[in-house]
Structure 1
């Protein structure tokens, strides 16, 4: 409190500060707040103390009895009952059973096209009735002195199960399985069970260790919000606590509201997902002109740019399927993404495409495919030796260089920019906070104070895990012939470690992930050209290790919010990861022997391994052709390297402007989010993102300012209900219809979208006669 008073008192000319009791706050607590007129502005140093807008008149920070962040106050209880059981036989049995089912099904589903993954929400909602049934039916026997049924199924047990599910299969099948599929089925190289287990365990568990080591900076601070955890926390408290207070005239409880939204979302998705698919790709302008190239390029929702006024998504899967729920990130983050859509994809990309930069007129304007000089999909088999699986330069020179759509090429440039922007932004705007937190000088918030009731995990536990699985990673790459030297492994892990805090901090504040996939491919392509297996492992140890660390840290924060003992979280995460990885390898090996023609492009049941195929193509593009043939001087996409400079300079520009004019609107512009927030384009399009931004700004800015108490009570319940309803509806449609090859109803509502050039990916300005090339004459 004293620190905040001091910071504000130095700015009495700018800030009208008033202390008072906020007795009508939604939580019902009588907290001493600092209330600041919303019309006042702050510099970057002070702004982290004054968080968000409570209503039209005030912005409040509760510093003693609750979190200083209204988002956290809206979702996370500020009290704890340390008598509740946590690590029980019930939580472990249910957690491991659901981990087994989820890991197995997600791995199996990853073989299929279209692919699908079970989210943590699916298993978390299953755990609730199972836990209650256990409490009602199972006798209270003792096993080695431990109660089999200690009492009612509680929120902490439920949280622990959710954490186990999330770290084991929350992101779908383990990334390492894509390596193994590409190696085993496309390169016809199989090192066996031992290699598979070493590969998946080392790549998964090193991330766990790094996440634990970084927890003092990305878990403990109050400012590390981790927005997606707020939805999970809201769902869990809805199930177990469900306190009800009127909010802007609404008296329905959060649980009843959640169940209503869940039911509506579940029922509604059957229309855009199966019965009336035009609602999903609601590009009505292209229906009027299905064969007009320009109309389909500009307004298309599948391979177009989704320009206004055509970007109306009536399908939550289109809105949230790529990026996540728009109800989670702060409004400033969503506004930054929307600015990126306007500047990059509605101004720069059309300028590039219609100026024929990178031979864009011969290609779709937005596509995630790679093309040859004849306009066909790039055939990587023509440039590799069929026996040695190495690059054939003569065949490459005879065949074709590789070409990308305008949005795909720009996406690589944005990836380059996001890397250095993330580093510079973190140093300039969060460097002081990081040092403070490492020194443990920051005053703890209520959640950190409550967590002091539980024994912390010693840092050396995480260091031991790191050393064990680092050793296993050396075994993985050297005992078997992966062509990856140990020094390359060390560099990959150093990349993951260097970017861990910047990536985690950005994600914890914005819910936007900065991926290292492109930069790791770029680096290894130059370091070890012509070695695709080494390229795949370098990418995994550099990118996925970092991504896993962020995921583990996020779940540590969920445990922190829900007051789970850190040592229980440690063992739940580690054991669920090891067991889930074993299950996935078992299903992988079962699939090899039980599914005929697995990964074949014409497999009769659709088990074509789309993820493994993409990984294989990427390994050829980056590991065989190499970035030197794409980005070096004189090559087609050489100009994209300037994005590195742009990414490094833009945060510096913000910082200098804010030093001079601390109240400038530019303080809302987050450059790492600007460059990486649209990272799913392609295959996503601006249609998805603009719909995402419209929903996010409506609830995160308009509703939050106008009906703050409603937003506080219902926003995250709305998000959870929409997400879980979609997940369950998608799962049933996938299992009952797609896996059985049941066709969707044939009528106008499904057929109208099929005849557009946008859906057929044929909206190309110049279509050459068969066999006629475009592009350079030599390469």
Structure 2
């Protein structure tokens, strides 16, 4: 019997899965009968159907209903779904549609390598071309239909597998799975950062086998950690996962358009017109007319006044009354995120940029005036700190230079960087505090359902029910036709990555002590549910890198011997991916939930994406290091000012700060002493909001999310403070006005336009990168809208 069939079948009676290669998919057998078979259809890996099939109930009811119908008149299982979900997805399904096909694998092999390669190169460049997942989503639909026309309907036998090259019409589920696989593999990899830092700055080359093993395993660890949050955050209808809902809306619109549904055809026309329009427009702010990316109105009024220029500039100033027409400064998040999160973020921007920065610059907020909006480190007299002098190299070991530190004195941060770090620490702790106070009822309810699923099964001596079967809404009824991903799959995946990574660290590779790896896993596991809870309801993702680097610095501060600066990045990659990749897995499982995809298919799609993508991440990293080394390490200035490796330079500076100098020395300085109190603020502020919520339950204090506020306060505006007014304007139009007063129009077009704008923007950036920046750089001639001194015309700044 085939390996995949052994992995994907259900271990119980009464559940049916296809056995033969007949593309009608009508012949079924029980699990006991399957054990005698010698092959399984590749198209049907993991699919199953129950004897009493809830899906039959679903198919017998009319899944098309009037969205204007009052909720009290809807069927109960449909009324349980949030309105925004009912308007964006379909509520019928055919479990026998081929999904895991040869066409799917072929398209995955086509789309993943360029994405993995491009996104990895982006981390070394000043400007970059994003590889849009929406491009994959659209292109794979048309390529899949073409393959369905041209491929022969031929059965292939390969070892233990039999599969048909062309099992029938291209299906929307194949389109979904290709997109999810690309979302996993056609991305960059956090593991390239420590490997690149060690090679470029310290001449420590990581062996290829170790590098590939590390890069694969940190991502797969995150996927295994998705098991922690799936029972709490995936199946409950109240967790809508806005970005997953947007992609599902686009999938369904494309599928309906292909079926000649009149409304869907109109939607897709709007989508492609919006895509083309954004594609054409993006050439203006990004190349032809850069002034439109930052319309500094105050600079036009007083172009030679330094104070007015600083207040009005969005590029080096605080961006007061500054408008951006560049979609890169707005993004689709304002058309997905609930309006309350956008209001919190805008208030935080006002406080940080328009109140605190002026107080720090001209008031008495701080006595250290140097580097106000810089993320660099400084000496007490405001000079850039010579961090390289703090390192002593002895063979393969790097030691802290106490003499140099005493000579140059304590490290100083710019004022904005200081309160940014304070609120970064606060945001991490507040996520835990917030879910304990406000989310415990939701999590407790999910836990009770999870336990009851097993207790009822033991009493009745029947097979354990799927998680989806413990919920009564229509979506979960549909998903009950498919088997859940067994917990042991996640455990096996974690065990594999644990053994590999522990071997790497114990043998002295990747720069960190083995025990810090254990701590990274512990902190990564703790944060998944709090951050996943926030992301599932608000589309807000919290960056956790600063906290991870601090924790690593604290752990090794008393360690005797060498401390490699790249170690902080190694630790951050492990702890960070424990959350980031878990979120990818959960979000893709939610897309599969909305699109009625077998959860096991989604699980394997993530692993296949990683299997294909990571080698191309490594190849891109090696190409960049080997061909652009002198540019990236700063020995030679790139004449195109593109291959600067500024992200690595910043990480290296932070590593010196936390690894060599250490948190104790860093925060011993009176100027930096208040920063660690961010943890206390993050723990206590949610308690205050919770008290106000209980005292005034009708005042919506529960929407005053401290984690969102603190994370927005930790934003760094030194390089770019434009776009925030534009974001709140677009967000108000989309998520307040149209959502509240023109809801029917909003439900038809909002998610489609968000996807179209992102796709059009990314396509233009790719075209600019290929034709204007990849070889000899072509510059736009200077003119009034592209002034050589200041594209904003803030000449006094």
Per the normalisation by structure 1, the TM-score is 0.85
Match status 1:458 vs 2:486: yes
Equivalent residue number for residue 574 of structure 1: 607
Q: CA 1:367–1:154 in structure 2 vs 1: closer, same or farther (change >3 Å)?
A: farther
Moved more, 275-284 or 101-110: 101-110
Equivalent residue number for residue 329 of structure 1: 337
Q: CA deviation at 1:595?
A: 4.6
Equivalent residue number for residue 205 of structure 1: 220
Contact 2:76 2:473 in 1 (8 A): yes
| RMSD between aligned residues | 2.6
Q: CA 1:702–1:140 in structure 2 vs 1: closer, same or farther (change >3 Å)?
A: same
Q: CA deviation at 1:400?
A: 4.8
Equivalent residue number for residue 658 of structure 1: 693
Q: Which one of 640, 648, 654 corresponds to residue 612 of structure 1?
A: 648
CA deviations over 1:47-97 (Å, ceiling 9, x no partner): xxxxxxxxxxxxxx9742266322222322222222321111101110122
Contact 1:75 1:233 in 2 (8 A): yes
Q: Which one of 348, 367, 370 corresponds to residue 362 of structure 1?
A: 370
Q: CA deviation at 1:545?
A: 1.8
Q: Tell me the distance in 2 between the aligned counterparts of 1:258 and 1:682.
A: 33
Contact 2:690 2:701 in 1 (8 A): no
Q: CA deviation at 1:610?
A: 2.7
Match status 1:190 vs 2:226: no
Q: Tell me the distance in 1 between the aligned counterparts of 2:240 and 2:222.
A: 20
Q: CA 1:304–1:436 in structure 2 vs 1: closer, same or farther (change >3 Å)?
A: same
Match status 1:162 vs 2:179: yes
Equivalent runs, 1:719-738 vs 2, <5 Å: 719-738=754-773
Match of 1:506, SS state, is: helix
Q: Which one of 106, 112, 135 corresponds to residue 99 of structure 1?
A: 112
Equivalent residue number for residue 351 of structure 2: 343
Contact 2:195 2:206 in 1 (8 A): no
Q: Which one of 738, 752, 757 corresponds to residue 703 of structure 1?
A: 738
Match of 1:342, SS state, is: helix
Q: CA 1:483–1:262 in structure 2 vs 1: closer, same or farther (change >3 Å)?
A: closer
Q: CA 1:406–1:283 in structure 2 vs 1: closer, same or farther (change >3 Å)?
A: farther
Equivalent residue number for residue 436 of structure 2: 427
Segments of structure 1 that go 5 or more residues without pairing to the other structure are 1-24, 36-60, 764-779
Q: CA deviation at 1:745?
A: 2.4
Moved more, 621-630 or 416-425: 621-630
Q: Tell me the distance in 2 between the aligned counterparts of 1:657 and 1:258.
A: 44
Per the normalisation by structure 2, the TM-score is 0.83
Q: Tell me the distance in 2 between the aligned counterparts of 1:317 and 1:77.
A: 31
Q: CA deviation at 1:604?
A: 4.8
Contact 1:328 1:716 in 2 (8 A): yes
Match of 1:385, SS state, is: strand
Equivalent residue number for residue 177 of structure 1: 192
Q: Tell me the distance in 2 between the aligned counterparts of 1:183 and 1:757.
A: 41
Segments of structure 2 that go 5 or more residues without pairing to the other structure are 1-62, 451-469, 558-562
Match status 1:541 vs 2:574: yes
Q: Which one of 132, 135, 143 corresponds to residue 130 of structure 1?
A: 143
Contact 1:76 1:233 in 2 (8 A): yes
Equivalent residue number for residue 747 of structure 2: 712
Q: Tell me the distance in 1 between the aligned counterparts of 2:789 and 2:582.
A: 41
Q: CA deviation at 1:646?
A: 1.9
Q: Tell me the distance in 2 between the aligned counterparts of 1:397 and 1:527.
A: 23
Q: CA 1:626–1:505 in structure 2 vs 1: closer, same or farther (change >3 Å)?
A: same
Q: CA deviation at 1:532?
A: 2.1
Q: CA 1:379–1:128 in structure 2 vs 1: closer, same or farther (change >3 Å)?
A: farther
CA deviations over 1:513-540 (Å, ceiling 9, x no partner): 1222111111111221354233222222
CA deviations over 1:260-308 (Å, ceiling 9, x no partner): 111100010001110000001221322444453322332221222212x
Q: Tell me the distance in 1 between the aligned counterparts of 2:343 and 2:624.
A: 44
Q: Tell me the distance in 2 between the aligned counterparts of 1:74 and 1:713.
A: 8
Moved more, 72-81 or 179-188: 72-81
Q: Tell me the distance in 2 between the aligned counterparts of 1:135 and 1:641.
A: 59
Q: CA deviation at 1:417?
A: 1.2
Q: Tell me the distance in 2 between the aligned counterparts of 1:491 and 1:652.
A: 27
Match of 2:531, SS state, is: helix
Equivalent residue number for residue 391 of structure 2: 384
Q: CA deviation at 1:580?
A: 1.0
Q: Tell me the distance in 2 between the aligned counterparts of 1:418 and 1:297.
A: 29
Match of 1:329, SS state, is: coil
Q: Tell me the distance in 1 between the aligned counterparts of 2:76 and 2:196.
A: 51
Equivalent residue number for residue 305 of structure 2: 292
Contact 1:160 1:572 in 2 (8 A): yes
Match status 1:84 vs 2:97: yes
Contact 1:630 1:636 in 2 (8 A): no
Equivalent runs, 1:362-761 vs 2, <5 Å: 362-363=370-371, 365-373=372-380, 375-387=382-394, 388-440=397-449, 443-529=471-557, 530-595=563-628, 597=630, 599-601=632-634, 602-604=637-639, 606-632=642-668, 634-677=669-712, 679-682=714-717, 685-740=720-775, 741-751=777-787, 754=790
Q: Tell me the distance in 1 between the aligned counterparts of 2:333 and 2:718.
A: 18
Contact 1:516 1:543 in 2 (8 A): yes
Contact 1:26 1:712 in 2 (8 A): no
Q: CA 1:81–1:367 in structure 2 vs 1: closer, same or farther (change >3 Å)?
A: farther
Q: CA deviation at 1:614?
A: 2.3
Equivalent runs, 1:253-292 vs 2, <5 Å: 253-292=266-305
Q: Tell me the distance in 2 between the aligned counterparts of 1:755 and 1:77.
A: 47
Equivalent residue number for residue 4 of structure 1: none
Equivalent residue number for residue 139 of structure 1: 152
Q: Tell me the distance in 1 between the aligned counterparts of 2:272 and 2:250.
A: 10
Q: Tell me the distance in 2 between the aligned counterparts of 1:291 and 1:543.
A: 45
Moved more, 587-596 or 421-430: 587-596
Q: Tell me the distance in 1 between the aligned counterparts of 2:510 and 2:268.
A: 52
Q: Tell me the distance in 2 between the aligned counterparts of 1:147 and 1:30.
A: 44
Moved more, 350-359 or 83-92: 350-359
Equivalent residue number for residue 318 of structure 1: 329
Q: CA deviation at 1:31?
A: 5.8
Contact 2:315 2:721 in 1 (8 A): no
